[in-house]
Structure 1
Amino acid sequence: MTDVVLAAPVPPLGPHQLLVFLLQLALLLLLALALGQLAERLGMPAIVGELLTGVILGPSLLGNLAPGFTAWLFPSDSNQMHLLDAVGQVGVLLLVGVTGSHLDVSMLRRRGTSAVRVSLGGLIIPLALGIAAGTVLPASLMAGDTERWVFALFLGVAMCVSAIPVIAKTLTDMRLLHRDIGQLTLAAGTMDDAVGWFLLSIVSAAATAGVTAGKVSLSAAYLIGFVVLAVLIGRPLVGGAMRFAGRSSESGPTMAAAFVLVMFGAVATHSLGMEAVFGAFVVGILIGAPRAADQRKLAPLRTVVLSVLAPIFMATAGLRMDLSELRRPEIALAAVAVLALAVIGKFVGAYVGAKLSRLSNWEAVALGAGLNARGVIEVIVAMTGLRLGVLNTATYTIVVLVAIVTSLMAPPMLRWAMGRVTHNEEELVRLATHDAWAGRAVGAAVDR
């Protein structure tokens, strides 16, 4: 009889490792929520405060003031940091899935032509400027042995994305969702996001598969095949699963089903050599499709993601920033150049698309301002580049700075431009409907 040697059970986390992990989570979430609330009170997006959490606790500030404590709280031990990264990855996949579930396909169909023009302008011009910048930036901004063309293409993708979560929240907070420009900004931004995930997966595949044309083509074929299968097979499967979970009077089964489906979508694209966030985004769109899920039962999941998991992810993203890198003149100049190209490229692209759609100058300015908010999507792209070894700490810091600055610039620019665009009758009807939903006095404080 053959003796069977059983593998020893995997030991649990050590007491010290667990202590540090729990303290990391508690401190990061506490400070992220506090700074996020402070940022909103000051009229800034919450993401600014959440990212500053990592800046304060990371090498940029606390690492210089109290290096011993920082080394204890955030040790260089990869196993310890991977615990925090795992929580952040789950958070970002769910955040992207929730974002996808808010995509209004019917709105895209209604405003298709104008949205396509604005979206293409806002994608192509900053993408081209980013690629051009990536070909001339100093080699010190490239990580390891990264190919120059991969670095340039990745920088182009980072500069051409928008951020639907930030745009949607900004438009809501400013009471602009009922405006035609608000709807068009959301539609064009949704297209930018979808194409951005597509491009990110292509560039990620190129970074991991090498420069072989056959491998890159195969990765692109996988990507297209995944989208086709998601539409033909995934849509009825996801819809059926969500409707089955929705039979329960409780929200728990619906939330659990959405969680599982988003994770399986991420697994599918990740196993094909693409970015996991793309699969999560596509499945999120399927979950948000009409008659797929009871959106009211998904509200608790959104609350947990937006109030707990997303702030933790943003804080961990800030931990990897090192603002001391900006003391080097070549890094500071590169940061200014990348920021200027990102802002100008997105603004000019959206403006040109708007003018081709025969919109007024102020409407075109408003679109350029709204679509300039990169926010969370830019941070996800930057984290992906850091994880793949395409970006180093200096370049990562520059890209995240672009996300912060553009998210800060968008609200005042949007408010200034929209103050010069009068309401039409359809917008006033929409405003009354939105105010009724929100429990406000109907039509209050509208400047015609």
Structure 2
Amino acid sequence: MPGHPSLLTAAAPVAPLGGHPLVLMLTQLTLLVVCAYVLGRLANRVGLPAVVGELGVGVLLGPSVFGRLAPAASGWLFPRDAGQFHLLDAVAQLGVLLLVGVTGVSLDFTLVRRRGRTVVWTSLLGLAIPLGLGVAVAMTLLPGTLRPGQTQPMVFALFLGVALCVSAIPVIAKTLLDMGLIHRNVGQLVLAAGTMDDVVGWLLLSVVSAMAVDGLHTGTVIEPILYLAGLLLVLTLLGRPLVRAAMRWAQRAESSAAVVVTAVAVILLCATGTAALQLEPVFGAFLGGILIGTSGGVSLASLAPLNNGLSAVLAPVFFATAGLRMDLGALVHPAVLAGALLILGIAILGKFAGALFGGLIGRLNRWEVLALGAGMNARGVVQLVVAAVGLRLGVLNTESYTIIVLTAVITSVMAPPLLKFATRRLEITSEEELRRREMEPLLN
């Protein structure tokens, strides 16, 4: 009916983002990109990968430093407004999804299959040991001030255990790329074992989160496992041939951009699928990268433009954003500081123990075990996501949240120098040299 109000409302276009929110987001992005580049270069100057400096940007610009030195300016530049922060998060999420997808393309399944026993045992023990230690310590040693009063002790303990047992594929991937180690055998082992950790870790997070909301029942445990099994079946039977056909078409296209666009579409589509199943989209992006890498005939040189943009802009924004939620002020309380040191020690010890036992089973030497343990210790943003979920569900309070975030940052910063120290003592094999030449576009 002409003039009907509902029809007029439906036909009205959605107003674009503008005014103060747009100005603020662009200002934030400019500052984060520039500071991440500067601190990344400084990290390189002292022999560390750029990701160390990029993680430090968020800590410096967040409430821990800038928020205390200039609270008024910090409140304007990074307001505690969820909608404004989500605009920045959207850009950061795009960066991490593409970063993890490109990393999945680089995974060498020939090595993974050959060293499968090492990967499986390192991953499983690296999950089980810190999970068990975290639960035990939370139930017996941690002060009650770290647990919200309404949270059941077992739920809090399980949540803490899950937070300590995860690894972080985004940080691992960026570290290996920055250090030029992704082509090394130990880098491939870290990547494969970290992927298994992420899969199991996200399943455990789904179960514990459901327990916090609805309590423990059969559906809490079974549903995430069924979703994962169905996803892997669909990707194997349908996704792999479709991606192979799409990538071969892109390789034949006249435009060099066709491969990049097709790869981005596959990665984002897989991430969308896992998000729709209430699994982590980062896991889907990694599966999309694996599908591309195993489709046959895809040259890593054709993905170099995508990787250059990721390394220069999108990935640094993601890592810089990760530290903006962290506040070190809670550590002035002795009980919180003691709890932080205890949890940090358990987190580091648990992953190194998993790498040690997994390495012994796989007959790795001591330097390979050290590198594997260092890489697996990089929890980074996955642990930050776990902490954010716990805070949102009321399982964690401000103090326990800060401890988990601090553990994520310290383990991520600790990993690169240990990796560098260990890998310098490992002889480069002919297999690694061949893989380096194949991956050279991603390493430059």
TM over 0.5: yes
Partner of 2:328: 323
Q: Match for residue 40 of structure 2?
A: 36
| TM-score normalised by structure 2 residue count | 0.85
Following superposition, the deviation at residue 289 of structure 1 comes to: 1.6
CA distance in 2, matches of 1:333, 1:247: 60
Residue 358 of structure 1 deviates from its aligned partner by 3.7
- Specify which of 289, 298, 304 is matched with residue 303 of structure 2: 298
Query: How far off its partner does 1:59 sit?
Result: 1.1
Letter in 1 for 2:307: R
CA shift for structure 1 position 386: 4.9
Q: Distance between the aligned counterparts of 2:423 and 2:89, measured in 1? A: 40
Shift, 1:199, TM fit: 3.9
C-alpha contact (below 8 Å) 2:119/2:193 kept by paired residues: yes
> C-alpha distance in 2, partners of 1:279/1:437?
25
| Equivalence for 1:242 | 247
Task: Please state how far the C-alpha of 1:116 moved relative to its aligned partner.
Answer: 2.2
SS in 2 for 1:246: helix
CA deviation string 1:178-205 (max 9, x = no partner)? 7655554454344434444444455455
**SS of structure 1 residue aligned to 2:6:** coil
CA offset digits 1:28-55 (Å, max 9, x no partner):
1111121122122222232222122122
The residue matched to 1:211 in structure 2 has which SS? coil
- Alignment check: 8 A CA contact 1:242 1:287 kept: yes
| Greater shift in the superposed pair: 46-55 or 336-345 | 46-55
Percent of paired sites with the same residue: 53
- Structure 1 regions of 5+ residues with no counterpart? 440-448
Aligned-partner Cα distance in 2 for 1:48–1:308: 15
Among 193, 214, 218, the alignment partner of 1:213 is 218
- Find out whether 1:108 has 2:112 as its counterpart: yes
**Is the CA contact 1:355–1:361 (under 8 Å) kept in the aligned structure 2?**
no
SS at match of 1:241: helix
> What is the rounded CA distance, in whole Å, between the counterparts of 1:30 and 1:203 in structure 2?
39
**Residues of 1 paired with 2:263 and 2:429: CA distance?**
36
Could you say if the C-alpha distance between residues 150 and 75 of structure 1 is closer, same or farther in structure 2, counting changes exceeding 3 Å? same
Matched residue SS, 1:5: helix
Shifted more, 335-344 versus 130-139: the winner is 130-139
Q: Which sits farther off after the overlay, 403-412 or 174-183?
A: 174-183
Contact 1:35 1:50 in 2 (8 A): yes
Q: Structure 2 unaligned runs (5+)?
A: none
1:357-372 equivalence runs, <5 A: 357-372=362-377
- 1:17 maps to which residue? 21
Partner residue, 2:264: 259
Q: Which amino acid aligns with 2:6?
A: V
Residues 87, 270 of structure 1: CA spacing in aligned structure 2 closer, same or farther, 3 A cutoff?
same
Write out per-residue CA displacement over residues 326-374 of structure 1, whole angstroms, 9 at most, x where no aligned residue. 1122221121111100111111121122223344445434433343333
Tell me the CA shift for residue 320 of structure 1: 0.3
Partner in structure 2 of residue 53 of structure 1: 57
CA contact (8 A) 1:161 1:192 kept: yes
- Quick one: distance in 2 between partners of 1:353 and 1:335? 27
Distance 1:273 1:243, change over 3 A: same
Q: Is the 8 A contact 1:111 1:187 kept in 2?
A: no
How has the CA–CA distance of structure 1 residues 302 and 154 changed in structure 2, closer, same or farther, with 3 Å as cutoff?
Answer: farther
Corresponding residue to 2:128 among 120, 124, 127: 124
- Give the secondary structure class of the aligned counterpart of 1:338: helix
**Deviation of 1:414 (Å):** 4.2
1:93-121 per-position Cα deviation (integer Å, ceiling 9, x unaligned): 22232232222222111111233223322
Q: In structure 2, which of residues 350, 358, 366 is the aligned counterpart of residue 353 of structure 1?
A: 358
Which of 265, 268, 276 is matched with 2:273 structurally?
Answer: 268
Correspondence 1:377-396 to 2 at 5 A: 377-383=382-388, 385-386=390-391, 390-396=395-401
Call closer, same or farther: CA 1:358–1:376 in 2, change over 3 Å: same
Stretch moving more, 135-144 or 270-279: 135-144
- Preserved CA contact (<8 Å) 1:100 1:283: yes
Matched, 1:85 2:86: no
Matched pairs, number: 435
Q: CA deviation at 1:239?
A: 2.2
Q: Tell me how far 1:24 sits from its aligned partner.
A: 0.9
Counterpart of 1:410? Answer: 415
| Farther-moved stretch of structure 1 (190-199 vs 15-24) | 190-199
Q: Which residue of 2 aligns with 1:445?
A: none
The aligned amino acid for 1:314 is F
Q: Which amino acid aligns with 1:5?
A: S
1:104 and 1:202 mapped to 2: Cα distance?
31
Residue 5 of structure 1 aligns with which residue?
6
Supply the distance in 2 between the matched residues of 1:215 and 1:392 (Cα, whole angstroms).
Answer: 24
> Which deviates more, 310-319 or 280-289?
280-289
Structure 1 contact 158–381 (Cα < 8 Å) conserved: yes
Q: Look up the match of 1:442.
A: none
CA contact (8 A) 1:205 1:219 kept: no
- Say whether 1:398 aligns with 2:399: no
Mapped contact 1:122–1:346 kept (Cα < 8 A): yes
Separation in 2 of the partners of 1:374 and 1:352? 20
Contact 1:107/1:187 (<8 A) preserved: no
Larger mean Cα displacement after TM superposition, 156-165 or 220-229: 156-165
When normalised by structure 1's length, the TM-score is 0.84
Post-superposition CA distance 1:250-290 (Å, at most 9, x none): 33222222222222222222222222222222222212224
Cα 1:432/1:141, change in 2 over 3 Å: same
SS of the residue corresponding to residue 291 of structure 1 reads: coil
The match for 1:73 among 72, 77, 82 is 77
* Greater mean deviation of Cα atoms: 344-353 or 162-171: 162-171
Letter in 2 for 1:118: T
Question: Contact (CA 8 Å) 1:205, 1:274: kept in 2 or not?
Answer: no
CA distance in 2 between partners of 1:376 and 1:331 (Å): 22
Residue in structure 2 matched with residue 228 of structure 1 by the alignment: 233
Q: 1:256 and 1:41 mapped to 2: Cα distance?
A: 34
